């Protein structure tokens, strides 16, 4: 059983549907990091041994690269994005289950399926419930469009 099922699903979606080759390649890197973490994680959802913190940090960095630092900065006022951004400053990563939740929320916000609501978190950053999918808002890429992780805009 996967220790990161939500992140694996979101990264897999990005690997198949991201608009740019670079974003798809970054999604593949994230999936490889997930494999490495899952191969070494002990069973259960307890504390992570200190030796695995580096692997989990690599997982966070791969997710950051996929989402794109510029996109993360543009939507940093969203609580889910802020929780993800704060991971980079923590001395030890949270449990794998918490990490899975935090990373997957960022990836689904960044690469949402067309017309799909966010995972119970309300509207995507920069979008109101009445806005149309893919319509521009005052936040550019934060509107939930499917532009790639390197800043190419529609």
**Do the Cβ atoms of 91 and 55 come closer than 8 Å?**
no
* Spatial separation of the C-alpha atoms in residues 148 and 104, rounded to whole Å: 17
- pLDDT per residue over 91-114, tens digit each? 888 889 999 999 999 999 999 998
The predicted pLDDT at position 92 comes to 83
The predicted pLDDT at position 152 comes to 41
Nearest to 153 by CA among 64, 85, 70, 80: 70
Provide the percentage of residues in the chain whose pLDDT is more than 70: 68
The predicted pLDDT at position 46 comes to 54
Q: What is the pTM of this model?
A: 0.72
**Do the Cβ atoms of 87 and 60 come closer than 8 Å?**
yes
- pLDDT per residue over 110-148, tens digit each? 999 988 665 444 444 433 333 333 333 333 333 333 344
Q: Calculate mean pLDDT across residues 87-91.
A: 87
Tokens of 82: 């802020």
* Spatial separation of the C-alpha atoms in residues 20 and 152, rounded to whole Å: 8
């Amino acid at each position: 059983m996967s220790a990161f099922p939500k992140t694996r699903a979101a990264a897999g979606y990005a690997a198949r549907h991201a608009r740019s080759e670079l974003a798809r390649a970054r999604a593949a890197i994230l999936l490889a990091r997930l494999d490495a973490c899952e191969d070494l994680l002990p069973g259960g959802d307890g504390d992570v041994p200190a030796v695995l913190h580096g692997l989990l940090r690599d997982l966070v960095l791969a997710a950051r690269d996929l989402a794109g630092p510029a996109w993360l900065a543009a939507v940093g006022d969203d609580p889910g994005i802020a929780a993800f951004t704060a991971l980079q400053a923590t001395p030890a990563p949270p449990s794998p289950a918490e990490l899975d939740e935090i990373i997957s929320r960022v990836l689904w916000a960044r690469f949402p399926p067309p017309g799909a609501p966010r995972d119970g978190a309300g509207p995507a950053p920069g979008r109101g419930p009445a806005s149309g999918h893919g319509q521009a808002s005052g936040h550019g890429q934060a509107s939930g469009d499917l532009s790639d992780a390197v800043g190419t805009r529609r």
